[in-house]
Chain A
Amino acid sequence: MEKSTFRFSRIQFRLILWGLGFLLFFTLIAAVAIGPVSIPLIAVWQIVRESFFGSPSENINSAYVNIVWYLRLPRAFQAIATGSGLAVTGAMMQAVLNNPMADPYILGISSGASVGAVLVILFNLFNSLQTYALSTAAFIGGISAFFLVLLLNKNRYEILRLILSGVAVSSALSSLTSLLIFQARHGEGIQSVLFWLMGSLARAEWSTLPLTILVVSFGITFMIMSARILNALSLGEETAITLGVKAISCRYSIMIVGTLIVGVLVAQCGTIGFVGLIVPHLVRLFFGNNHRKLIPVCALAGSIFLTWVDIACRLVVKPAELPLGILTSLCGAPLFIFLLDRKSTIGIRKK
């Protein structure tokens, strides 16, 4: 894969991480302060501070409290967790499968989850508004699709076969989703399905956040700890084996951990495209393919990117709302192409 364009010393890299961390903090503040309903910044601060240490005082507008504390803040945290989780698992998949086209959903997770979610939303199998029903169905769907792909590759260890069977299972399940949508009685329900399929953070709630944050932070830690193995795997299977990595067993265990993370995220937010595919590449343009650097930067960049996109989703067509997936690609793709061009010119100049 691509070589690093810039070389950063250890201290420089530390500074960049701190800078990104600060930017993330600023992003969090923005996500809570900015929304379709304009709330004075002082009120926002007061609500957050007082809600944190108990219940907010009576003199604050209760609608503001509900908006800031029960809608915006959980949603912002969800955006941060989802963004970093997707970017990190994306980088992981690209390394493990040794394929630049890989993204977190490549092994059928999203299409499996879609089938579960659509069943719940359109056919009202459980109460579709309860976060748990939808998430559980989506999680089960996603994970079973992934294990189906693994089962299809039992006793076979070719990466290409794995990827292709993932693609095949995905397209079969996507068709199943379309069939379910087509069979549904009512057009209006399709709007909700569209929001789920294109990704949305509107379902974020305090009650489900701890699980998400726990899973994602475990995932990031795990990936940072596996950085050396990821580096070896991304050089190709044979190189990895000569470097003393048990390529096959490592690949599967890392992949399963990644899938569990993605499963949880997809279950709550639907399929958010682009973040897991492009953010790792974007980061790689600047930091090279060393996963010890790549993973933490991906985590920060992914969360910053997704949070800002979510802010845009809430604002662009206010008081209406856009599905997240529309804007991630719409904003991200031009940015990426621009940077891709810049990078190649920089590369030539260096030569």
Chain B
Amino acid sequence: MLNSLFVLSSLFPSRAQTTQKGPISVNLVKPHRKSSLVFLIFIFILLLFITTKVQASQYPLEIDNLGHKITYYASPKRVVVLNQHAIEIMMAIGLEGKIIGTAYLDDEIIPEYKEKFEKINYLSDKYPSQEVLLNTDPDFVYAGFKSAFGTNGVGTRDTLQSLGINTYLNIAHNQDDQVNLDSLFADFYDLGAIFGIEDQANDVAKKIREEIDKVISQIEGIAQPVSVFVYDSGNPPFTAGGWGVPNLIVECAGGRNIFFNLPKKWTTVSWEEVVAADPQVIVLIDAIWSPAEEKKNFLLETKAFRDLSAVQNQRFVVLPFTSTTSVVRVPQAIRQCAKAFHPDLFNE
């Protein structure tokens, strides 16, 4: 220790030493002092530069997630992810290494992620119970739907917080507002900050956004959006209101959801309204529990719908349910809808 101090002092000769050695040595030292000053300033500027650049990812970091303010003191290391779209977002930004458990898939995972996904412990087909969750010893839970923290979920956000588990809820599907192209990507920015990989997350978001913008620019020339009815399931029909992702997909693809002015994500409407609105295209949501083919047959066979433009011209688009939930799949969904809405613009 003393040795090293001695070495250091010999490297940086003190002012007292230099003055003792007369004018010559002063001349010798002067340029040396100058350069060290420049060096110090350079270091200072560099430090300043680095600190401003990394500022956002410096912990502690407070993230406001749908009104839940949570302070992060370090990047989470053991993450449990619930619901398909949350899992796919995590994998899209390359955080699969941090995931120690997943649950609640609605459908197959995107093929590119499949190999990585299968290495992760899949806890349950629905939400795991709180005990099962705690058993994995997570420090962060990321969920796609509010129900994950509801009665049949893994426990409330406050409960988990008190157990030292931070939580994050997907914004696009749970905000009390209309989803738009910015809030669709909110998770990417927040997770980037929380995990300290902002650039990486932003790049992925940017790429997905660019794909969407490409389709939007392709349909720029349309005179008028086509009117669209989104049929999820049921009788009376369960359909997309103006607040959810399906509505956003339809809008971006050059369509106009006939129920765009309903301030809800999904809602049940009267058939009467559907018949009166006379949609030109019907988007059928396809899911294992409610196949699109059935709904199509029902629409084609029921007399009340025989005069609908979409039925007469057989203009149906089949969208997998997951493409209305998972941001990663949204560009593909928009492209598919745009092609069906405006086939003349996509002659390939």
Contact = CB atoms under 8 A, between A and B. Distances in A.
Interface stretch (B31-39, B44-52, B132-140, B270-278): B270-278
Contacts, number: 117
A124 B304 contact: no
Interface string A197-215: 0001011011000000000
Interface in A139-196: 182, 184-189, 191-192, 195
Interface-centre pick from B236, B266, B289, B303 (highest chain A CB count, 10 A)? B236
A72 B272 contact: yes
Interface in A309-323: 314, 318-321
B159 interface: no
Interface of B is mostly: mixed
Interface in B120-163: 125-126, 145, 147, 152
B308 to A, nearest CB: 8
Given A66-B306, A70-B304, A320 B233 contact: no
B273 A37 contact: yes
B275 A63 contact: yes
A123 B288 CA distance: 9
Nearest to B234: A192
Contacts of B235: 129, 192, 202-203
Contacts of A122: 289
Nearest to B147: A187
Interface in B264-299: 264, 266-273, 275-276, 278, 287-291, 294-295, 297-298
Given A67-B304, A129-B235, A189-B233, A321 B275 contact: no
B177 interface: no
A140 to B, nearest CB: 20
Interface in A77-133: 121-124, 127-130
B125 to A, nearest CB: 7
B271 A320 contact: no
B213 interface: no
Nearest to A38: B276
Contact of A66 (B152, B289, B291, B303): B303
B234 A195 contact: yes
B154 to A, nearest CB: 15
Q: For chain B, which range describes its interface: under 10, 10 to 19, 20 to 34, or 35 or more residues?
A: 35 or more
Contacts of B275: 37, 63, 66-67, 71
B102 to A, nearest CB: 16
B262 interface: yes
Contacts of B176: none
Interface in A1-50: 35-37
A218 B269 CA distance: 34
B273 A318 contact: yes
Interface of B: 106, 125-126, 145, 147, 152, 232-236, 238, 259, 262, 264, 266-273, 275-276, 278, 287-291, 294-295, 297-298, 302-307, 321
15 contacts: A67-B275, A121-B234, A128-B294, A129-B295, A185-B125, A186-B289, A188-B233, A188-B266, A191-B233, A192-B234, A202-B235, A314-B270, A319-B270, A320-B270, A321-B270
Given A189-B290, A318-B270, 17 more contacts: A66-B275, A67-B275, A67-B276, A70-B303, A71-B275, A127-B297, A129-B294, A186-B287, A186-B321, A187-B147, A189-B233, A191-B234, A191-B268, A202-B236, A202-B270, A319-B259, A320-B269
State the 10 A-B residue pairs at the shortest beta-carbon distance, nearest first: A70-B304, A192-B234, A202-B236, A129-B298, A319-B273, A37-B276, A62-B307, A66-B304, A186-B289, A37-B272
